[in-house]
Amino acid sequence: MNLMQVLVTLGGVLTIGWVIWFFLLAKGESARAQADTSGIQEVRVSVKGGYSPDILVVQRGKPVRIHFYRDETAECSERVIFSDFGINQFLPAYQTTMVDFTPDRQGEFDFHCGMNMLRGKLIVE
Amino acid sequence: MPIDPICGMEVTAGEAVGRSTFRGEDYFFCSASCKEKFDRNHEDYVTPRGHVVAESTAEPTSQVVGKKSQRIDLPISGMSFASCALTIQRGIGSLEGVQKVSVNFASSQATVHYDPGHVSNLDMIKKVKEVGYGVGAAKARFKIGDMHCASCVHKIEKALKGLPGVLKAGVNLAAEEAQVEYFPSQVTLADMKRAVQSTGYTFREIEGAAEEDIEKQQRGREYLLLKRKLIAAFILAVLIFIGSMGHWVPGLKEIPRSWTHIILFLLTTPVLFWCGGQFLRGAWASFRHRSADMNTLIAVGTSSAYLYSGVVTFLPGVVAGAGQSPAVYFDTTAFIIALILLGRTLESRAKGRTSDAIRKLMGLRAKTARVIRNGQEMDIPVEEVLVDEVVVVRPGEKIPVDGVVTDGRSTVDESMVTGESLPAEKHPGDGVIGATINKTGSFKFRATKVGKDTLLAQIVRLVREAQGSKAPIQRLADVISGYFVPVVMAIAIATFMIWFDLGPQPAFTRALINFVAVLIIACPCALGLATPTAIMVGTGRGAENGILIKGGESLETAHKLTTIVFDKTGTLTKGEPEVTDVLPLNGFSGDELLKFAASAESASEHPLGEALVRRAREKGIELLEPKDFQALAGHGIEATLNGRKILVGNARLLRGNGVDIKDLEGYFATLSSQGKTPMFLAVDGVSAGVLAVADTLKPGSKGVVEQLHRMGLEVLMISGDNRRTAEAIGKQIGIGLVLAEVLPEDKASEVSKLQGEGKVVAMVGDGINDAPALAQADVGVAIGTGTDVAMEASDITLIKGDLRGVVTAIQLSKRTMQIIRQNLFWAFAYNTAGIPIAAGILYPFFSILLSPVIASAAMAASSVSVVTNSLRLRRFKPL
């Protein structure tokens, strides 16, 4: 094994480690929904190659309204799915789309794009 | 004219059945029971302010009556008795600031004079809701253009709220949308439009703005753009390919290689950055979220080939110095992008078709309705129709909302909603469904459900929810797709290392090419699309056939069923008795027998009697007026017709009256054993014959049971009837396994017993009485008739009462699951085989390497094929 090969191997192993760390061990950014005067818990989420914030904290039994602003045309994010609540919403590009529902049970629920590539979490307290 | 304070009927003093005096005032009643009710508790029906009067409140405005006094007319819904008016009147009257209230039962309106400083119309509405009624407000949504800031929001809200009849107005800046709750009798959308425009903003109506329409429009635009990029990418890719083969093309050979490289670089750049720009942008956006998707793979793959070739072009020394041959891979980059765009274009078109069913359903909605307001027919937008309003429908028109026919008759084509192909006859009292089409006659109907409560709106909502749900089979694919992209990237890097360290020369270029091939061939899209597209198309196709499937889970369980349990009454049978046998004797004719029996029974309210009367009417037999009618509980009835004494009832009744029934007893026993209810008839002490009445089978139920048997399913019948009747019906229909004499509350435990034997059970019932059993079963199938579908309680709802839907639902679920399995198998097999081949696993044995261009073609084909396979469900036809 020459020097070049050693360097490439070393670099490769490091890159694999970095890929795993960077993509799989990422921690999300969380936001707590704010209740407005009429008692609706509202939270804004921007959609561009992912959801920011991607951890939404809401309270059980109160109506939730999530404003999704889809800031791209990339097809991946065109639908947002909360399968536990039967929501499969189309998000038009460069527009805000509201998703309304009332979480009736506590727990952590995933939401994601149509192909489960972009993911977020809904925490119901 | 005085009004009966109990039931609200108008009664003149002369006609009144009863009269009571209370606090010096006279009250008149239509019936003894109303008077009784009133006498028992006057207080409930009379307030200190006086009793309920039908006053005319024609002008629907909120005009100022005096200083600090305003008037508002609230349309009230849900009042069924005049006494309701009182409850509401008292409720509103109890609010501070209310000066005068009168509630008009006939026009369903409350007129309130109030001090706006002390009480708002919202308080009153709250009060009305508190005492158990609704306020007939409509909701409207429209778009507002040219808003820039929060102060615009405030200005528009103020303008809208300032309109009389507007209850609530909320403007959302981000969505550029206003939501208004209002009384359509007092303010119209046109008024709101003027109010918005007067503040200097633009008003845009969202006409039937179904999200599916928006989706279609947007998809259309994207499709055009994709097509343009695709064509450009292909033309450039071909040019780049010719250029790369330059040393074989006469004429190009003379151009120095370094020049060719620069030209190729210039041609490839727009392909990567314009045609493939969306992949780069998407990858960058994901990267910032520390996530990776399809775009990441494509972007890394194409740009590494491009960057390496760029280095070769501009810094050939570096590459030569590292011992590499100076080859460029611009054609690889360009072709990968062109092929992936081709896949995307096809996929985009196919994906748009997966939600066709919903779009079709949404498109059914009527846009306008013709209602009668203040005695005049007027056309209004369908959103403004209120519950209890009278709607007029002419031949050929669409019925706008759900309701009950009050006047006129017609036939209605309901196929678009129920899947039933035969037009339905409508008479006064029959329900009509919004979005169905009136065929022959004109009629009026009273609206019972509007807006989001209509059957169509509920169907759309349920189908949408179903399409968003998941099938358990998807779980593994979900787990995998969550880790897929980073893992593929790791494999690609490992591939590069192995080829570089161990591969034959030229090691670097081979390592690079295989690295790109691995990234490009991996297709998580196929994995991600496999289940959802099939569920979308499957549930949509079900809805088109009048079958609502609650979600992926129900769909998946339905194909595993082993046992189908049918409720008897109302499911397998019509649920109402019919005359089945007429056996005359002693010189009487059949029609005579029916005439006597039906005439005698015409005064009774017994369902058996109703069956006789119905049959006589069907046969055009004129009935006689019975005299001295007497119902003898447990025996039958006695009546006199034209002076002849008629007895209809059981053996005890006839024997007790000294009638000889020896000749009839044989018939009686036979009919009983067939599960029918026989009745003897005697005229003037002589037996005249036997009539039998029974609940009859729905047409087609026998065929359904046969077909289920043929599909290898076990079929049971469950019934609360006695064993003999239940078994007789079971025999007729071909069900050997009959659970009889089961109390309604025990049906669920019978289902769970079957489940305990390891069976996967579907329970088919009417959804109202059988709710616990439907919930207990693995799949609860509710049979609906028109608007009364209990859709929430069941996993599968058959909108038309036709049992064939059970077979169709099972077949559809089998077909959908088959498609899902094919999709998943294909997606898994493709990725597990494709990635190692691209990495070069076959090279040591067969010297086979996969070019990245072939890899990109395979990738494009794989996701397109999955969606196309799912679309095959659109052609599903019930057998």
What are the angstrom distances between the C-alpha of B611 and each of A1, B576, B683, B691? 98, 8, 20, 11
Q: Which residues of A touch B285 (CB under 8 A)?
A: 48-50, 72, 74
With CB atoms and an 8 Å threshold, state whether B470 touches A5: no
- Do residues B419 and B804 lie in contact, with contact meaning Cβ atoms separated by under 8 Å? no
With CB atoms and an 8 Å threshold, state whether A81 touches B294: no
The predicted model gives B763-774 an average pLDDT of 78
State the Cα–Cα distance between residues B46 and B590, nearest whole angstrom. Answer: 56
What are the angstrom distances between the C-alpha of B807 and each of B239, B547, B703? 57, 11, 10
Where is A35: in which H helix or E strand? Answer: strand A34-35
A-facing residues of B in 475-494 (CB < 8 A) are: 477-478, 481-483, 485-486, 489-490, 493-494
At residue A94, the pLDDT reads 81
Q: For B833-863, write each residue's pLDDT tens digit.
A: 899 999 988 888 888 888 888 888 888 888 8
DSSP secondary structure, B27-80, as one string: EEESSHHHHHHHHH-GGGT-BTTB-------------EEETTEEEEEEEEE---
Query: How many angstroms away from the CA of B876 is the closest CA of chain A?
Result: 24
At residue B54, the pLDDT reads 33
| For residue B51, pLDDT beyond 50 | no
Taking phi over 0 as left and psi of -120 to 50 as alpha, with beta for the rest, B550 belongs to alpha
Amino acid identity for residue B872 in this structure: R
Would an 8 Å CB–CB cutoff place B212 in contact with chain A?
yes
| For residue B878, pLDDT beyond 50 | yes
| For residue B617, pLDDT beyond 80 | yes
Mutate to test the interface with A, among B143, B291, B512 (most CBs of A within 10 A): B291
With CB atoms and an 8 Å threshold, state whether A49 touches B286: yes
Query: How many angstroms away from the CA of B152 is the closest CA of chain A?
Result: 18
At residue B565, the pLDDT reads 93
Tokens, residue A105: 């049970």
Active site residues of B: 567
At residue B464, the pLDDT reads 78
Q: For A31-90, write each residue's pLDDT tens digit.
A: 777 776 667 888 888 888 788 888 888 888 888 888 898 888 777 788 888 888 878 888
| For residue B445, pLDDT beyond 90 | yes
Nearest CB to A12 within list B291, B467, B497: B497
User: Which of A61-65, B284-288, B663-667 has the largest mean confidence?
Assistant: A61-65
> What 3 state SS string does B107-145 have?
CCEEEEEECCCCCCHHHHHHHHHHCCCEECCEEEEEEEE
| Sequence-distant (≥ 6) Cβ neighbours of residue A89 within 8 angstroms | A68, A79, A80, A81, A97, A99, B211, B468
| Sequence-distant (≥ 6) Cβ neighbours of residue B536 within 8 angstroms | B354, B355, B467, B870
| Angle, vertex CA B325, rays to CA B257 and CA B328, nearest 5 | 55
E strand spans, B807-854: none
| Residue predicted with more confidence, B777 or B41 | B777
Q: For B725-735, write each residue's pLDDT tens digit.
A: 888 888 888 88
- Do residues A62 and A32 lie in contact, with contact meaning Cβ atoms separated by under 8 Å? no
Question: How confident is residue B633, by pLDDT bands cut at 50, 70 and 90?
Answer: confident
Helix (H, G, I), strand (E, B) or coil at B803: coil
With CB atoms and an 8 Å threshold, state whether B285 touches A72: yes
- Do residues B807 and B785 lie in contact, with contact meaning Cβ atoms separated by under 8 Å? no
CA dihedral B382, B388, B393, B397 (to 10 degrees): 30
**Nearest one of B144, B75, B64, B70 to B105, comparing CA atoms:** B75
User: Which of B72-76, B171-175, B749-753, B772-776 has the largest mean confidence?
Assistant: B749-753
Would an 8 Å CB–CB cutoff place A111 in contact with chain B?
no
| Sequence-distant (≥ 6) Cβ neighbours of residue B532 within 8 angstroms | A81, A114, B467, B470, B474
The pTM score is: 0.70
What mean pLDDT value characterizes chain B? 81
Q: Which residues of A touch B525 (CB under 8 A)?
A: 115
Nearest CB to A81 within list B468, B481, B501: B468
Would an 8 Å CB–CB cutoff place A82 in contact with chain B?
yes
At residue B34, the pLDDT reads 65
At residue B716, the pLDDT reads 92
Q: For B333-378, write each residue's pLDDT tens digit.
A: 898 899 888 888 888 787 777 777 777 887 888 888 898 887 888 8
- Do residues B21 and B27 lie in contact, with contact meaning Cβ atoms separated by under 8 Å? yes
| Residue predicted with more confidence, B2 or B877 | B877
| Residue predicted with more confidence, B775 or B869 | B869
| Residue predicted with more confidence, B442 or B108 | B442
State the Cα–Cα distance between residues B801 and B699, nearest whole angstrom. Answer: 11
| Sequence-distant (≥ 6) Cβ neighbours of residue B290 within 8 angstroms | A22, A23, A26
| Residue predicted with more confidence, B784 or B655 | B655
CB pairs A-B closer than 8 Å = 147
Nearest CB to B524 within list A8, A20, A115: A115
Q: Which residues of A touch B500 (CB under 8 A)?
A: 5, 8-9
Range in B38-47, B286-295, B436-445, B665-674 with the lowest mean pLDDT? B38-47
Tokens, residue B207: 């006409």
Chain A: residue whose CA lies nearest to B503: A5
Where is B831: in which H helix or E strand? Answer: helix B804-839
Tokens, residue B408: 């006129």
| For residue B871, pLDDT beyond 80 | yes
Angle between helices B852-871 and B524-544 (to 10 degrees): 20
List strands edge to edge, sheet with B547-549: B547-549, B796-798, B779-783, B761-765, B563-567, B714-718, B737-739
| Residue predicted with more confidence, B654 or B235 | B235
Q: Which domains does chain A have, with CATH numbers?
A: 29-124 (2.60.40.420)
Pinpoint the alpha helices (H) of B660-799: 665-673, 701-710, 723-733, 747-756, 771-776
At residue B159, the pLDDT reads 84
Alpha-carbon torsion B106, B107, B113, B117, what sign?
positive
Would an 8 Å CB–CB cutoff place A102 in contact with chain B?
no
With CB atoms and an 8 Å threshold, state whether B469 touches A83: yes
CA dihedral B610, B616, B620, B621 (to 10 degrees): -120
At residue B709, the pLDDT reads 93
What are the angstrom distances between the C-alpha of B764 and each of B54, B717, B718, B719, B837? 48, 10, 10, 12, 51
Mutate to test the interface with B, among A1, A22, A24, A66 (most CBs of B within 10 A): A24
State the Cα–Cα distance between residues B24 and B51, nearest whole angstrom. Answer: 12
| For residue B791, pLDDT beyond 70 | no
State the Cα–Cα distance between residues B863 and B860, nearest whole angstrom. Answer: 6
Range in B128-132, B316-320, B657-661 with the lowest mean pLDDT? B316-320
Q: Which residues of B344-357 are buried (b: 16+ CB within 10 A; e: fewer)?
A: bbbbbbbbbbbbbb
Helix (H, G, I), strand (E, B) or coil at B180: strand
Q: What is the CA radius of gyration of chain A?
A: 19
Range in B228-242, B527-541, B778-792 with the lowest mean pLDDT? B778-792
Q: Which residues of A touch B228 (CB under 8 A)?
A: none
What are the angstrom distances between the C-alpha of B492 and each of A24, B302, B499? 16, 13, 11
Q: Which residues of A touch B175 (CB under 8 A)?
A: 67, 95-98
| Sequence-distant (≥ 6) Cβ neighbours of residue B282 within 8 angstroms | A49, A72, A74, A76, B293, B294, B295, B296, B299
End-to-end CA distance of chain B: 62
| Sequence-distant (≥ 6) Cβ neighbours of residue B683 within 8 angstroms | B588, B596, B644, B645, B646
At residue B757, the pLDDT reads 92
Amino acid identity for residue B869 in this structure: N
- Do residues B526 and B483 lie in contact, with contact meaning Cβ atoms separated by under 8 Å? no
**Nearest one of B440, B398, B404, B443 to B417, comparing CA atoms:** B398
With CB atoms and an 8 Å threshold, state whether B525 touches A115: yes
Determine how many CB atoms are found less than 10 A away from the CB of residue B456: 21
Helix (H, G, I), strand (E, B) or coil at B801: coil
Would an 8 Å CB–CB cutoff place A99 in contact with chain B?
no
**Nearest one of B307, B311, B314 to B280, comparing CA atoms:** B307
At residue B182, the pLDDT reads 81
| Sequence-distant (≥ 6) Cβ neighbours of residue B795 within 8 angstroms | B549, B550, B554, B557, B558, B774, B779, B780, B781
Q: Which residues of B touch A102 (CB under 8 A)?
A: none
Nearest CB to A12 within list B286, B470, B496: B496
Question: How confident is residue B62, by pLDDT bands cut at 50, 70 and 90?
Answer: very low
| For residue B284, pLDDT beyond 90 | no
With CB atoms and an 8 Å threshold, state whether A74 touches B281: yes
Percent of chain B with pLDDT over 70: 86
Would an 8 Å CB–CB cutoff place A114 in contact with chain B?
yes
At residue B232, the pLDDT reads 93
Q: For B374-421, write each residue's pLDDT tens digit.
A: 788 888 888 778 888 899 999 888 899 999 999 888 888 888 777 777
Determine how many CB atoms are found less than 10 A away from the CB of residue B237: 25
Chain A: residue whose CA lies nearest to B296: A49
Query: How many angstroms away from the CA of B479 is the closest CA of chain A?
Result: 9
Question: How confident is residue B112, by pLDDT bands cut at 50, 70 and 90?
Answer: confident
Would an 8 Å CB–CB cutoff place B211 in contact with chain A?
yes
Q: For B181-234, write each residue's pLDDT tens digit.
A: 887 767 777 788 888 888 778 777 654 445 566 667 777 877 888 899 999 999
At residue B268, the pLDDT reads 92
At residue B64, the pLDDT reads 41
Q: For B531-570, write each residue's pLDDT tens digit.
A: 888 888 898 888 888 888 888 888 889 989 999 999 887 7
| For residue B63, pLDDT beyond 60 | no
> What's the half-sphere exposure (Cβ side, CA atoms, 13 Å) at B187?
27
Q: Name the phi and psi angles at B592, rounded to 5.
A: -60, -45
Question: How confident is residue B55, by pLDDT bands cut at 50, 70 and 90?
Answer: very low
State the Cα–Cα distance between residues B477 and B259, nearest whole angstrom. Answer: 48
